Structure 1
Amino acid sequence: MIIEKIVGHIDELDANLVAKTHKEKVFLESSDLLKRIQRVKTDHGREIGIRLRDARELVAGDVLYMDEKNIILIEVLPDDVIIIEPRTLNEMGTIAHQLGNRHLPAQFEDDKMIVQYDYLVEELLVELGLPFARENRKVKKAFRHIGHSHG
């Protein structure tokens, strides 16, 4: 089976329909969400080729295939991340500046900054006295490096 477009998102489907269907999941690393072309396997052993026509990233919960009885969807494996919870605007500015200089991609949820685990970042946070926690967490989108040069 080759998937060329995303059918929809699991959260946007009728809850009654979703409850009645058999669900197969494709477990991906968050970095694989950026790939438009890849070969994957569902948790039931079905091989699927993904070759998206549209230039879009995959997102946790994307439905690759759906009929009356079956849904195949994307599930993201947990990432080793650091959750930073600055207490003040000054702390947020300080850590954002420090991590920005390292070109480290970040995601934001509520008042939390989420970055992929890096022991140097952990050391920096301890040195600055900023509150943080390390955990395995499923992210909805991939950590995307933004192309940039200091030319």
Structure 2
Amino acid sequence: MIIEKVIGNVEKVSTEGRHIEKVYLSSDDLVKRIQRVTTDHGKEVGIRLKEPKDLIDGDILYMDDRNMIVVSVTSDDLLVLRPVTIKQMGEIAHQLGNRHLPAQFEENVMLVQYDYLVEELLEQLGVPYSREERKVKKAFRHIGHSHG
């Protein structure tokens, strides 16, 4: 089976009465338009998306009257930052931006993929953080940039 488009997302489409098979992907794999994956029931699926769109957690790759194949993102090793002041937030955002590290935001926390150097920086700056295994909905996306 070759998947060429995402049908929808389980947050907006009813799954009631359908058997759900999951395709487990790392957040890094969400940006790949072409890949071969295996469902949790052992079915091989080819993904060849026609649109340049990142996959997100809960995307429906296949659906009929009885079955669905859904993307499920595996947990990442993350640093969860909880800056206390706007100054602290600005300082850490500036430092991470200089390193071109992608970040995501959920409610009042900033998420970055674990890196021991970033952890040392957080310690030096006194930014409250924790290291957690956490599932993100979308890929960590690097923004193209050069200092040319």
Query: How far is the alpha carbon of 1:19 from its aligned partner?
Result: 2.8
Return the alpha-carbon distance in structure 2 between the equivalents of residues 125 and 50 of structure 1. 39
Partner of 2:12: 12
Question: Structure 2 CA distance, aligned partners of 1:105 and 1:5?
Answer: 26
Q: Which sections of structure 1, spanning at least 5 residues, go unmatched?
A: none
Q: Distance in 2 between matches of 1:110 and 1:92?
A: 14
Structure 2 counterpart of 1:44: 41
Q: Distance in 1 between matches of 2:144 and 2:13?
A: 35
CA distance in 1, matches of 2:81, 2:25: 25
1:113 aligned residue = 110
Deviation at 1:111, TM superposition (A): 1.5
Distance 1:138 1:109 in 2: 12
Question: Does 1:131 find its partner at 2:117?
Answer: no
Partner of residue 93, structure 1: 90
Alignment equivalent of 1:34, drawn from 11, 31, 36? 31
Provide TM-score, normalisation by structure 2: 0.98
Q: Which runs of 5+ in 2 are unaligned?
A: none
Letter in structure 2 aligned against 1:10: V
Number of aligned positions between the proteins = 148
Q: Secondary structure at the match of 2:111?
A: strand
CA RMSD across the alignment: 0.6
Structure 2 distance, partners of 1:99, 1:55, is 27
Q: Secondary structure at the match of 1:92?
A: helix
Structure with greater proportional helix content: 1
Structure 1 length-normalised TM = 0.96
The residue that corresponds to 2:100 in the other structure is 103
Distance, in Å, in 1 between the alignment partners of 2:69 and 2:28 is: 20
% same residue:
62
